[in-house]
């Protein structure tokens, strides 16, 4: 009995390892009631939770970058966790983890989009060293939004992209981030933790893009994920309607602790924005 169980676990692990190496593209159309007509059809490639290391996650990261290049999005959104907190948190191991942001950023900077690429930090980035990770990304021409907003312009029309500092390990201040945005202009929020949508929905935010959950890395049909991190248990994967806010939770590229994904392959989300009244998405 023990031998059979071990063999079954081994096979499952092998399948999960293979699945973790093959990112797939999820294509969505998301209508936003306040989206200006010139932005109708704008495409956003969202990637999240890279957790760079040299042997396992580097494989799906490289494959995801190649796929994004072929998709030719207008905008690229990177929603946090570029590195992984080490199991033993000593000064040397934390410095080593922070240093992995550089090879990760080196690969990610290969992606190009006419409206730019932007990032927010995740809880692992914040725990290891937010300033260090942010500086590394910015040195590789990947702007990091920490309680900031940037306007995206088409003619005289604007769409705002907002990013907040990590909710679990940073100093998030959504009010400060959006204070200069005119109340009638459409806004997209990048926030690593999806369950922050409950707070964001109280503000004039149209769309929130998040990650953090990894989809649990293992997803059991009819049951869900055996484990999910804090602030991803309410909205763990896919699209949701939270008040007037539309939320999308990307299940990530990399893995942590074990390089395994089961019913939960690495994800690139390609979002096409549509001008029009929002419909209730499937949760």
pLDDT in tens, 255-270: 998 899 999 999 999 9
pLDDT score, position 5: 29
Instruction: Flag whether pLDDT at 51 surpasses 70.
Output: yes
* CA distances (Å), origin 127, targets 60, 84, 86, 214: 24, 9, 10, 18
pLDDT score, position 12: 45
For residues 169-186, give the mean pLDDT.
96
Count CA within 13 A, CB hemisphere, residue 240: 22
Instruction: Flag whether pLDDT at 115 surpasses 60.
Output: yes
pLDDT score, position 76: 98
Q: Where are the domains of the chain?
A: 2-275
pLDDT score, position 4: 27
Task: Give the closest residue to 58 by CA, choosing from 102, 16, 8.
Answer: 102
- Percent of the chain, pLDDT > 70? 91
What's the pLDDT band for 182 if we cut at 50, 70, 90? very high
| Contact of 215 with 226, CB cutoff 8 Å | no
Contacts of 163 (CB under 8 A, 6+ apart): 118, 119, 120, 144, 145, 146, 147, 148, 149, 177, 189, 190, 191
Residue whose structure tokens are 């730019």: 116
pLDDT score, position 257: 84
Q: Sign of the C-alpha dihedral, residues 93, 95, 97, 99?
A: negative
Q: Sign of the C-alpha dihedral, residues 237, 240, 242, 245?
A: positive
pLDDT score, position 17: 58
Domain 2-275: state its class: alpha beta
pLDDT score, position 268: 98
pLDDT score, position 16: 59
Instruction: Flag whether pLDDT at 93 surpasses 90.
Output: no
The dihedrals phi and psi of 276, each to the nearest 5 degrees, come to 155, 175
Instruction: Flag whether pLDDT at 1 surpasses 90.
Output: no
Instruction: Flag whether pLDDT at 125 surpasses 70.
Output: yes
For residues 170-183, give the mean pLDDT.
96
Instruction: Flag whether pLDDT at 273 surpasses 80.
Output: yes
pLDDT score, position 18: 65
Give the chain's mean pLDDT.
Answer: 91
Calpha distance 136→138 (Å, rounded): 5
Calpha distance 59→20 (Å, rounded): 9
**Token pair belonging to 249:** 């939770």
- More confident of the two residues 97 and 253: 253
**Angle formed at CA 90 by CA 86 and CA 91, multiple of 5 degrees:** 110
**Token pair belonging to 236:** 């763990």
For residues 146-156, give the mean pLDDT.
96
pLDDT tens-digit readout, 14-45? 565 568 899 999 999 999 999 999 999 999 99
For residues 111-123, give the mean pLDDT.
98
For residues 223-230, give the mean pLDDT.
95
């Amino acid at each position: 009995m023990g031998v059979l169980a071990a063999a079954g676990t081994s096979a499952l692990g092998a399948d999960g390892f293979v699945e973790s190496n093959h990112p797939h593209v999820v294509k969505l159309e998301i209508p936003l009631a306040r989206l200006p007509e010139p932005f109708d059809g704008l495409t956003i490639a969202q990637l999240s939770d890279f957790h760079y290391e040299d042997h396992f996650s580097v494989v799906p990261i490289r494959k995801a970058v190649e796929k994004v290049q072929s998709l030719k999005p207008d905008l690229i959104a990177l929603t946090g966790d570029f590195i992984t907190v080490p199991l033993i948190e000593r000064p040397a191991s934390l410095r080593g983890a922070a240093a992995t942001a550089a090879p990760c950023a080196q690969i990610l900077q290969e992606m190009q989009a006419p409206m730019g690429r932007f990032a927010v930090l995740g809880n692992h980035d914040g725990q290891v060293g937010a300033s260090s990770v942010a500086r590394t990304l910015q040195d590789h021409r990947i702007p990091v939004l920490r309680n900031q907003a940037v306007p995206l312009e088409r003619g005289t029309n604007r769409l705002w992209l907002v990013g907040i500092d990590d909710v679990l390990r940073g100093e998030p201040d959504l009010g400060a981030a959006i204070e200069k945005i005119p109340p009638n202009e459409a806004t997209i929020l990048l926030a690593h933790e999806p369950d922050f949508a409950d707070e964001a929905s109280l503000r004039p935010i149209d769309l929130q893009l998040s990650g953090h959950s990894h989809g649990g890395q293992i997803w059991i049909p009819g049951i869900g994920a055996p484990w999910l991190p804090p602030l991803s248990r309410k909205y763990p994967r896919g699209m949701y309607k939270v008040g007037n806010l539309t939320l999308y939770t990307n299940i990530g590229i990399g893995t942590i602790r074990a390089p395994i994904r089961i019913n939960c392959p690495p994800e690139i989300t390609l979002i096409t924005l549509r001008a029009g009244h929002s419909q209730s998405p499937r949760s």
